[in-house]
Amino acid sequence: MHLFYQDQLPEIKFLDQAESKHCIKVMRRQVGDEINIIDGKGTFYKAKITNANPKKCEFEVTETTKEAKPSFHRHLAIAPTKNMDRMEWLIEKATEMGIDEISFFQSFHSERKIIKIDRLEKKVISALKQSLKAKKPILNEIVPFNKVLDSTSAEIKLIAYVDFENKVHMRNELSEEQNTLILIGPEGDFTPEEVDMAAGKGFEKVSLGNSRLRTETAALAAVHLMNLAME
Amino acid sequence: MHLFYQDQLPEIKFLDQAESKHCIKVMRRQVGDEINIIDGKGTFYKAKITNANPKKCEFEVTETTKEAKPSFHRHLAIAPTKNMDRMEWLIEKATEMGIDEISFFQSFHSERKIIKIDRLEKKVISALKQSLKAKKPILNEIVPFNKVLDSTSAEIKLIAYVDFENKVHMRNELSEEQNTLILIGPEGDFTPEEVDMAAGKGFEKVSLGNSRLRTETAALAAVHLMNLAME
């Protein structure tokens, strides 16, 4: 099944220029054909094409279905890697598995201070269509580390950092019904001061297992664990 | 910590040309300096450079340490995706998380019939070094689907295929001490005939959760679950 994207639904009932071109020129859909559309806000639409204009494909909605809501808000905050391909990859995979919000922060060992959210938004929408989901995760602009600590209302607040004296696996800290935020540090890890700062704000140190994982792999493991906790 | 690779250890006590160049020219190591080497077979070596030749760096071993063995053999068999980048990515991430053997097979909906194992071996070695592991996963050449079914001695044999009438999550089928093989199908999935063939050979159908995952994402989720079962 192919999904089109129109985030102004239900108000606007046509596809934007790129989506119209894809629908009419590439997929050769005609007036009367049925198409499937998501609004990125959690609703699937079935629609019938009323005007097969390759620059502005108009449709009428025939059916709407709400996507099932996850049992808690899954929020990942990460220090972006220098290599943007690795972040794009993560965004794609996290969207496929299921994530509600992704934040980026600058910490002491961060190698990247700037993130182009626009480009990541495109990756997210394409992963959304691929995995037949209707709700787009929120992507937040990069902020300093301390701002991530302060601006959350999550009930479960975790920081991926191995405390060798008191090793707790992340999976043992998750609960089926509580909003969760997990912080993943940069390649050079968090500093002890950053970990203390997080602990002071109620964040618990958790391990992701015995392997030494790259930043983006650790983040995906954490996203997978949050999804397993809901299943 | 940087790891060098010499799979002929303990017999051969020098680095190959590429590794020697990296050690002497790039990292500027000198006679008497200590280096760390893995053999890809599960042993870490500490060694002292005895001849800082940038084409053939010789060393003497000062210490050997065996890597802890996983509690069971983790085997992934997958129908490779058309896009090789996605397979290279998977191989890297699976090696980081921990995997003992990776096989490739051709099934009815496979889009790729050829795999260049050499190139993947390089990816594996670099992921091994990155994640400070000493044992290289076995990579097998691509074979027809039925051969994968026949050539395993795994105690737990699983096929990722959603049986809507009897949905069993993969995590519920794993055991801490039993060798496991999981089959991941191509983008177009397994055919019902292939699933029946696997069932006839003792493979159990398992789900990886509620999301629709791409081939390589499903494979990585499966690898993560096998590692979680051991922790």
Determine the pLDDT at residue A173.
95
> What is the complex's ipTM, to 2 decimals?
0.91
Q: Are B213 and A97 in contact (CB under 8 A)?
A: yes
Residue found under tokens 């037949």: A132
Task: List, run by run, the mean pLDDT of 10-residue segments along chain B (231 residues).
Answer: 94 96 95 96 96 97 93 96 94 97 95 90 94 95 96 95 86 93 95 96 94 95 96 84
User: What CATH number should be reported for the domain whose range is B3-66?
Assistant: 2.40.240.20
Q: How many CB atoms lie within 10 A of CB B18?
A: 10
Check pLDDT > 80 for residue A165.
Answer: no
* Fold observed for domain B74-228: Alpha/beta knot (3.40.1280)
**CB-count burial class (<10 Å; 0-12, 13-18, 19+) for B200:** exposed
Determine the pLDDT at residue A80.
95
Determine the pLDDT at residue A168.
94
Determine the pLDDT at residue A14.
97
**B217: which chain A residues are within 8 Å (Cβ-Cβ)?**
93, 96-97
d(CA B211, CA A85): 23
d(CA A42, CA A55): 26
Give the tens place of pLDDT for each residue, A25-70.
Answer: 999 999 999 999 999 999 999 999 999 999 999 999 999 999 988 8
**A169: which chain B residues are within 8 Å (Cβ-Cβ)?**
231
Where are the domains positioned within chain A?
3-66, 74-230
d(CA B49, CA A156): 50
Shortest distance, CA A86 to any CA of chain B (angstroms)? 10
Residue A139 parent element (H or E): strand A138-139
Q: Are B157 and B77 in contact (CB under 8 A)?
A: no
Determine the pLDDT at residue A164.
78
Strand partners, A66: A43
Read off the tokens for B228: 């979680």
Q: How many CB atoms lie within 10 A of CB B121?
A: 15
φ/ψ (deg, to 5) at A201 = -100, 15
Cβ–Cβ gap B133/A211 under 8 Å: yes
Phi/psi class of residue B149: alpha, beta or left (left: φ > 0; alpha: ψ in -120 to 50)? alpha
d(CA A195, CA A212): 18
Look at chain A and count its residues. Answer: 231
Q: Are B40 and B134 in contact (CB under 8 A)?
A: yes
**B130: which chain A residues are within 8 Å (Cβ-Cβ)?**
212, 214
Residue found under tokens 């806000």: A41
Across the A:B interface, residue pairs with CB atoms under 8 Å apart total 63
Q: Which residues of A3-25 are buried (b: 16+ CB within 10 A; e: fewer)?
A: bbbbeebeeebbbbeebbbbbbe
Q: Are B124 and B93 in contact (CB under 8 A)?
A: no
| Residue B172 at interface with chain A, using a CB cutoff of 8 Å | no
Determine the pLDDT at residue A61.
97
CATH superfamily, domain at A74-230: SPOUT methyltransferase, trefoil knot domain (3.40.1280.10)
d(CA B99, CA B77): 11
Which residue from B169, B209, B231 is facing A210, i.e. has the nearest CB?
B231
Cβ–Cβ gap A212/B131 under 8 Å: yes
Q: Report chain B's terminal Cα–Cα distance, integer Å.
A: 24
Give the tens place of pLDDT for each residue, B46-101.
Answer: 999 999 999 999 999 999 999 988 889 999 999 999 999 999 999 999 999 999 99
Determine the pLDDT at residue B66.
95
Q: Report chain A's terminal Cα–Cα distance, integer Å.
A: 24
Shortest distance, CA A217 to any CA of chain B (angstroms)? 7
DSSP string, chain B: --EEE-TTTTT--B--HHHHHIIIIIS---TT-EEEEE-BBSEEEEEEEEE--SSS-EEEEEEEEEPPPPSS-EEEEE---SSHHHHHHHHHHHHHH--SEEEEEE-TT-S-----HHHHHHHHHHHHHHTT--BPPEEPPPEEHHHHHHS---SEEEEE---TTS--BGGGG--TTS-EEEEE--TT---HHHHHHHHHTTPEEEB--SS---HHHHHHHHHHHHHHTT-
Q: List Cα–Cα distances, A22 to A46, A88, A118, A218, B20, in angstroms.
A: 17, 23, 20, 36, 52
Q: Which residues of A124-155 are buried (b: 16+ CB within 10 A; e: fewer)?
A: bbebbbbbbbbbbbebbebeebeebbeebebe
* pTM of the model as a whole: 0.92
Residue found under tokens 């696997």: B198
Are A3-66 and A74-230 equal in CATH topology? no
Determine the pLDDT at residue B113.
87
